[in-house]
Amino acid sequence: MGPTRGAGVVNRMAEIGVAISHAVEEPEPRHATAEEPSLLGIQKAALVTHIRRTYYSDDGRPVETADIVVPAAHCEIVYEIPINR
């Protein structure tokens, strides 16, 4: 709840002098844990996608990570991959 609340990872890290170079996402399909159905409003053992997102600084250090869990039936995961020419 500080002054950079809601500013996004890249902007929050810049405020403390850390430049973000890239992020890596690792999506993994799995069944919901025992706690997730009530939190996500889904059936027990429903399929979810667990995304581990890690932001890295310019010097290669991981500086923030997030675990994101979304019901597989309620979302579509789309990646855009830029091609530098």
Domains and CATH numbers, the chain: 20-74 (3.40.1410.10)
84/39: higher pLDDT: 39
| DSSP per residue, 31-79 | E--SSHHHHHT--TT-EEEEEEEEEEETTS-EEEEEEEEEEGGG-----
Confidence of residue 1 (pLDDT cuts 50, 70, 90): low
Pairing mode of beta strands 20-31, 47-57: antiparallel
| CA nearest neighbour of 32 among 18, 46, 21 | 46
What is the pLDDT, as a whole number, of residue 4?
67
- In the chain, what percentage of residues exceed pLDDT 70? 95
pLDDT digits (tens, 9 = 90+) for 29-60: 999 999 999 999 999 989 999 999 999 999 99
